Structure 1
Amino acid sequence: MTASTLHVPQAGPGVGEPVLEIENLSVDYGYTDDATHVLRDVSLTLHRGEVLGLAGESGCGKSTLAYAATRLLPPPGLITSGSVQFTGRDGVRTDVLRQSDAELRASRWQDMAIVFQGAMNSLNPVYRIGRQIADGILAHQPRTSRRDALDQAAALLEMVGINADRLRDYPHQLSGGMRQRVMIAMALALDPQVLIMDEPTTALDVVMQRQIVEEIAELRERLGFSVIFITHDVSLLIEIADRIAIMYAGDIVEDARAQDVYRRPRHPYSSALLHSFPPLRGERRELTGIPGAPPDMQKMPPGCPFAPRCPHATDVCRQVHPGLTPTALAGRDDVEAARRVACHLHDPALVGASGLPDELAR
């Protein structure tokens, strides 16, 4: 088996159509009346062949969203409402949250695969790399011989830039970047349509981060899978993501094309995040932090969760929770038509009365 045989395109929905649709997903931690609501009616769509970046501060719910959507959420996490619709290559839609255990086991790694946060701890330290990849293949393809499974593992390693001779190495014999590549190879072993990457560059130096990001982009071009790339570093998403969703306190607060988020952020939180890291090119600018701290998820404010930290907050922001809707400019601007923002500052009535702050209107 060679790397070129790892992916065989099949007839089905075209590029750009939804492959994963998360609708009104809510998650609690705890089973009593004082459970913490960590996700509140989150909706997100991943299109076929797309790289969707999911960004936000630590603790905002990014990983919880990924684990809930794949039903890997550990106790005391509890999905309280919503649906996760997966569309296969044959066009059939399946609600992942309503699959039986047998159906779920069969679909994992074949329909959706995940690269867990922290490759250092994701690999079994007492088994060789080749065996760990081959065991995953054999679990789903029991008629495959172990020799063929190891040949596939060798091809997968070559595909992610690791010499096949490393099949007999143990995890401790590999660098952090190589271990992360092994995890990517393992996730791609069964040709999934959706690859979820939970902070895959954590604990790697900036050179290795760049290599991993370029590797993911090249593999996506070659194999055609869709990616949800989770990170707290927005700057990392600018080059790889087609679209970026910004999360804050269990909500999606902005969802737009990557370049639009970078050049024209509409939500005050998105703007604050982008001003928290230095630009790679262009004029120098002063870095500004975000005042205050994220809210206590057990004591959420009644209105917008970002209102206590927002310099543009009004009375309505502190009283009414905003929905994720098109901006007031959507009817006049094709770019804005593809954007969704959860912010009262973009309500048509408010914009007409007082106008947007300069940094949110440019």
Structure 2
Amino acid sequence: MTLHTPEALRAGASVADPVLEIRNLSVDYGYEEPVHVLREVSLTLGRGEVLGLAGESGCGKSTLAYAATRLLPPPGLITGGEVLFTGRDGNTTDILRLDDRALRASRWQDLAIVFQGAMNSLNPVHRIGSQIADGIMAHRPGVKKPEALERAAELLELVGIAPDRLRAFPHQLSGGMRQRVMIAMALALEPQVLIMDEPTTALDVVMQRQIVEQIAELRTRLGFSVIFITHDVSLLIEIADRIAIMYAGEIVEDAKALDVYHRPRHPYSSALLHSFPPLRGPRRELTGIPGSPPDLAKLGGGCAFRDRCAFAWDACGTLTPSLGSTDVPADGAARAVACLRHEPERVAAAGFEPKPVPEELAAS
């Protein structure tokens, strides 16, 4: 498999060779009166690509990751959609339709996940080396314990931890080291897709940067694809090739990382960016986002962001925006946004007066 460098992907990230396709994935919570927490979400991850998934807490980022890997706990229920994985041999399988045996075989060697709380993901009464080795032996029955521990030592070195830490217990490691152990464990069987659910949560900014740089280096060396979940868009600029913005269980913008950062097209994307200080460059005013995310149990028609949007008008209370292409830049990279300001024909056909795209949300 050809390894892609971050520079090459930034120059023209493409999903022409997809490794993971999420199509119209829907998830409900509850049984008698289910709440629709994901509504026909579609995403495509290219081979060797880093896709950032950003949004406020409660927007559905982790639910999307757990549903796609079939790790969604009750009362979560997948009600529709497909999750298509394309292996190195070119064969495509729908993860949602695998039986238990095939799903167990697929986990950790096709797709692996790094959970948000490293301390809660590691067994506190077992040594680090044993936990990594157990995972290897579970999926590779022919591998003996000494060989598995040798592989575990190599994995620790890969993520910048001394091999003698194999005998350490989780509580003897710092938060950053525990997160690196989780990354090492996820890479043990050389998966093609690595899903990282807010891996830098509760870490200081220095350790956050080290983790991000570590992931970028490993991706370049090993060639796997990454879905990096976070609420901090500015953090994704350091690693992501493409960013998808989620709000209220839907994707509202999907574009190249630098386009989202410098030229956001959706009002929520712009507001989210102005909620965090820039990592470099001139200072800018932090405005935040007024109000709170909507109650998904009471979500009706129209745009879910309208009550918090500075550019909403009467059409936003009736028409539900659709995620569609706004233009095709010269480099050919696709860009999609779900905002009625970018759908003048549809708005006019529904009897509303179209509104122009605000200057700050227009193409530059």
Classify the TM-score, shorter chain. over 0.9
Structure-2 change in CA distance of 1:283 and 1:336 (3 Å): farther
Aligned residue for 1:259?
Answer: 258
CA distance in 2, matches of 1:151, 1:178: 19
CA distance in 2, matches of 1:198, 1:25: 18
Q: Give the gaps of 5 or more residues in structure 1.
A: 1-8
Q: CA deviation at 1:355?
A: 2.5
Aligned residue for 1:17?
Answer: 17
Q: CA deviation at 1:354?
A: 4.5
CA distance in 1, matches of 2:193, 2:31: 31
Aligned residue for 1:43?
Answer: 42
SS in 2 for 1:180: helix
Aligned residue for 1:5?
Answer: none
Give the 5 Å matches for 1:50-199: 50-199=49-198
CA distance in 2, matches of 1:237, 1:337: 18
Q: CA deviation at 1:204?
A: 0.5
Moved more, 164-173 or 335-344: 335-344
Q: Deviations over 1:273-321 (max 9, x none)?
A: 1111122333222110111110001001310100111111121111111
Q: CA deviation at 1:334?
A: 3.0
Q: Deviations over 1:19-48 (max 9, x none)?
A: 00000000000112x111000000000000
Q: CA deviation at 1:119?
A: 0.4
Letter in 2 for 1:341: V
CA distance in 2, matches of 1:291, 1:173: 42
Aligned residue for 2:27?
Answer: 27
CA distance in 1, matches of 2:113, 2:355: 46
- Any conservation in 2 of the 1:19–1:47 contact (CA below 8 Å)? yes
**Corresponding residue to 1:343 among 339, 347, 353:** 339
CA distance in 1, matches of 2:278, 2:115: 29
Q: Give the gaps of 5 or more residues in structure 2.
A: 4-13
Structure-2 change in CA distance of 1:337 and 1:136 (3 Å): closer
- Any conservation in 1 of the 2:15–2:44 contact (CA below 8 Å)? no
What's the Cα RMSD here? 1.8
What TM-score, normalized to structure 1? 0.93
Q: CA deviation at 1:80?
A: 0.3
- Any conservation in 2 of the 1:326–1:337 contact (CA below 8 Å)? no
- Any conservation in 1 of the 2:192–2:225 contact (CA below 8 Å)? yes
What TM-score, normalized to structure 2? 0.92
The yes-or-no answer on 1:211 pairing with 2:183 is no
Q: CA deviation at 1:120?
A: 1.4
Give the 5 Å matches for 1:260-339: 260-327=259-326, 330=327, 333-334=329-330, 338-339=334-335
CA distance in 1, matches of 2:76, 2:161: 37
The yes-or-no answer on 1:356 pairing with 2:357 is yes
CA distance in 2, matches of 1:117, 1:248: 20
Q: CA deviation at 1:239?
A: 1.2
Structure-2 change in CA distance of 1:120 and 1:113 (3 Å): same
Q: How many residues align?
A: 348
CA distance in 2, matches of 1:118, 1:189: 19
- Any conservation in 2 of the 1:238–1:259 contact (CA below 8 Å)? yes
Moved more, 313-322 or 256-265: 313-322
Letter in 1 for 2:115: F
Aligned residue for 1:226?
Answer: 225
Letter in 2 for 1:102: R
Q: CA deviation at 1:335?
A: 5.8
Q: CA deviation at 1:190?
A: 0.1
Moved more, 284-293 or 19-28: 284-293
